[in-house]
Structure 1
């Protein structure tokens, strides 16, 4: 609570604050800072959050992690698997009448693969399917 004003979203908070107590990683109790008596002055740049705490928070609040580009990018969704399912669906049955139907089928595929726990929203799937949809619709015209 001592440094919470540093994290105001609107940017109107102070640029530094004083920490008067700390908690060691391996302890559950708080230690009071008595020297200096006013506590230790810190800025936002001094604040760190452990990656494991960020991931736990995201999991607890059902948040999607940011996807980074390049090798080793992490995402909670099996996009490569979806691409294979998409190709097989189009190869075996052709395109459905609407893109919305195809998106719904891919959401069903994600639900089947993750026991209904990890299903991207339709907008996210649409962004990945639209280039394929447009290219195939153009060829069919």
Structure 2
């Protein structure tokens, strides 16, 4: 692993117009060194392609953080959900697959209520009637009372 001078590689990364397929390295700097070494063989420089290059994760992450390149855009399309229903449904899918369907709807509701108690970020838990409203269509499908689809 060596550091390379980006100026020598810029023709491979033009913003406008076609870029060169290959560049020529005429200097390299070993990691941890302060001294550039000249490439003497071949005399016109070491041929290199963009696929030969690696970026160090630390400096890359620092670059992205300083410029807020990875910041997620905010979604102002409504209020935040009060409860994490998506995560609960993911857990419930796993539970039903691994452990089977509870024998009663009340047992299913109790399982979901317990999940919310253990996983609520705010300490808020939906009441039993809210959970029942959300789970009744699922319960009916699981019991074969409604056609699937």
TM (normalized to structure 1)? 0.45
